[in-house]
Amino acid sequence: MAHPLIREAKGALKARMPSRVWRAVRERLGQRTTPVTLATLDAKLAECSEVFARSHDDGLKLIRGFHLELANVELPSDPFSTAYRDAQLALFEKISGRPYSTALEHTPVNLEAAPYPYFTGSTVQVGDQLIAIGHLIKSLGPMAPPARVVEFGPGWGNTTLALAQMGFSVTAVDLNEQFLELIRRRVAGSQNVELVRCDMLSFIPGAPVDAVVFFESFHHCADPIRFIGQLHAMVKPGGRVLFASEPVDDFAMPWGVRFDGESVWAMRKNGWLELGFETSFFFSALQRAGFQVSRDRSHALTSLTDVIVARRS
């Protein structure tokens, strides 16, 4: 593992370079990944499954060492258009082997076992998650309990639990009933937690809230541009929307499905939608919807300490 000062220096260097220049530098630094094709993808994923069965950390190392190459990828020119979104969903179908449906966004949960990341037994995975969640909470700024927070895609409920224990009024919105049941058990009947089962695009709060939070979840939204517009009406004037540990970075297209090994694994094996966003486009989409945007990230400890804060003007 690289020294924290080295990682911080790389992060600072990356932030000052155009995306294409950084990609060239990264390749020169030996961080290239191995290309695979759709024809060889399933064999590669089977190899990853065998390694995951022995070690979660080794499995991640292997899966992060390749990317999918697709020929003749053509997209409409307007990333805000319906045609562009349809083209991205067609790419998802090509990679995953099935049309996209929110019904695919399901994770089996053992309600009697420890939640993620604790069941991995990995000090790296647990440490990264705790650091990242702490960074997200700190990025909420001066907001104090009992302010109302909506969390989309809470998953295992780690962020939900931390916010509830602080005294915030939390509405956790997820499609997976098992995740909601797990959170219900973890918060032990707390009166300041509301659980709602629905797709994030369908949720409408009774009144504008103080903050909306995403932790590794926004990139599963099937219509992210439309949803950004909905988020503006969801928060109070001056309210915040926080996008934590989301794949907003140097990206080959304005937004769309990702071709890295970890994302391809999730799409092909699980049917999850895995989107990525080019930084300047993501910022412009938020600004276009009426948000002021800032970013608070540091890669000194983990790449997950990254929060984009959109404040309603």
Give the model's pLDDT for residue 23: 44
Residues 6+ apart with CB under 8 A from 172: 151, 154, 157, 160, 180, 183, 193, 194, 195, 196
Residue 134: in which H helix or E strand, if any?
Answer: helix 123-138
Is the pLDDT assigned to residue 27 strictly greater than 80? no
Looking at per-residue pLDDT, the higher value among 12 and 44 belongs to: 44
pLDDT level of residue 31 (50, 70, 90 thresholds): low
Query: Stretch 159-181: mean pLDDT, rounded?
Result: 97
- Phi first, then psi: what are they for 57, rounded to 5°? -65, -45
Name the pairing type of β-strands 193-197 and 169-174. Answer: parallel
Select the CATH number that applies to the domain covering 70-312 from these four: 3.40.50.150, 3.40.50.20, 3.40.50.720, 3.40.50.2000.
3.40.50.150
Q: What is the pLDDT of residues 47-92, one digit of tens each?
A: 999 999 999 899 999 999 999 999 888 999 999 999 999 999 999 9
CB-based contact 225:250 (threshold 8 Å): no
3-class state of residue 206 by DSSP = coil
Give the model's pLDDT for residue 2: 43
Residues 6+ apart with CB under 8 A from 282: 248, 255, 308
Residue 74: in which H helix or E strand, if any?
Answer: none
CB-based contact 243:295 (threshold 8 Å): no
Provide the sign of the torsion angle of the four alpha carbons 39, 44, 47, 52, taken in this order.
negative
CA–chain centroid gap for 285, Å, is 17
| Residue ranges of domains in the chain | 70-312
* Residue position matching structure tokens 């697709």: 70
pLDDT level of residue 9 (50, 70, 90 thresholds): very low
- Tell me the pLDDT of the chain averaged across its residues: 90
